[in-house]
Amino acid sequence: MTDSSPAIETRLLSPLYIWPGGWLVLLSAMDNRPHQHVAASLLVALEGSLQVSRDGETLTQPLVRVPPEIPQSLHSDTPLAVLHLDPDEPAWWALREADEGAVLPLAELRQPLMALADGQVHVDMAAAFIRQLRVPHPAHIPDPRIVAACQALREDSSLDLESLAVTANLSASRFRRLFSEQLGVTFKRFVLHLKCQRALTLWQSGMSLTELAVAAGFYDQPHLNRTLRTMFDALPSRYARGQSVQVVDLSAHTRTTFTE
């Protein structure tokens, strides 16, 4: 896979940890262009502060949350953690209600993240960190019918809106509206996002975009390329720079559920 060169020298400080609700990677630095993705972002500077453009507002601070579908770009000369959290991920629903200073103390976020930034695989620590983000349990959660639909889509990518609406005992139009109201993203965009997540799970160093597009269920390689540029600016593999990118699947250790 190829992409344009990053504006700053960047190294991967961790594997790419992925689970059925998001992904986490630690980087030595980062500089990307404006983009907009379905997942929410939690951006944490391991030292100093980040510079983030969020929906036209420039923030310089150590911790930034970006809701789904909000335009953003990021610049950091120092190590940082990048988390993408799906709009139905319990950690996002906990974080969206939290106060960045009180409920999300920076030291408590940085400590486990710094322990993950040694380039080694730490499945238990990474899974424990995700579970930590889900505490406290959010006061508000998505409609159970939408949560069930999201889970069904993860298990069977061939499901369409009409069949999910029938399962939810809703008309197709009502289901479409409820989905957008609850998660802040459209059904179509969420399905496209899940394909991107599938691509991240399947990606291996040396794999071509054409091979990846077919495996992840995209129409063709240009479709995958356009989607990745729009949603992510680029895959984390862009920052490998001679390193072997290791994808670590946390699915068996971190469930996406509001009943944990």
Task: For the chain, 260 residues long, give each residue's pLDDT as a single digit of tens.
Answer: 344 444 577 888 999 999 999 999 999 999 988 888 899 999 999 999 999 999 999 999 999 999 999 999 999 999 999 999 999 999 999 898 887 656 567 888 999 999 999 999 999 999 999 998 888 788 889 999 999 999 999 999 889 999 999 999 999 999 999 999 999 999 999 998 898 788 777 766 566 667 777 666 776 677 666 666 666 666 555 555 556 678 899 988 877 677 54
CATH code for the domain of 122: 1.10.10.60
Task: Give the per-residue pLDDT at 48.
Answer: 93
Asked if the structure places residue 10 within a domain, the reply is no
Asked if the structure places residue 2 within a domain, the reply is no
Asked if the structure places residue 63 within a domain, the reply is yes
Q: For residue 207, how many other CB atoms are within 10 A of its CB?
A: 15
Task: Give the per-residue pLDDT at 5.
Answer: 43
Q: Residue 40: which of 4, 3, 89, 78 has the closest Cα?
A: 89
Q: Which DSSP category does 167 fall into? A: H
Asked if the structure places residue 167 within a domain, the reply is yes
Q: Which DSSP category does 96 fall into? A: T
The number of folded domains in the chain is: 1
Task: Give the per-residue pLDDT at 100.
Answer: 64
Task: Give the per-residue pLDDT at 105.
Answer: 76
Task: Give the per-residue pLDDT at 185.
Answer: 96
Round to whole Å and give the CA distance between 30 and 121.
Answer: 21
Task: Give the per-residue pLDDT at 1.
Answer: 39
Round to whole Å and give the CA distance between 179 and 162.
Answer: 13
Asked if the structure places residue 126 within a domain, the reply is yes
Asked if the structure places residue 11 within a domain, the reply is no
Residue reference for tokens 């899940």: 194
Round to whole Å and give the CA distance between 10 and 6.
Answer: 8
Q: Which DSSP category does 245 fall into? A: P
Asked if the structure places residue 256 within a domain, the reply is no
Record the pTM.
0.86
Domain holding 22, by residue range, is 16-249
Q: Residue 230: which of 204, 187, 193 has the closest Cα?
A: 193
Q: Residue 251: which of 82, 11, 17, 1 has the closest Cα?
A: 17
Asked if the structure places residue 1 within a domain, the reply is no
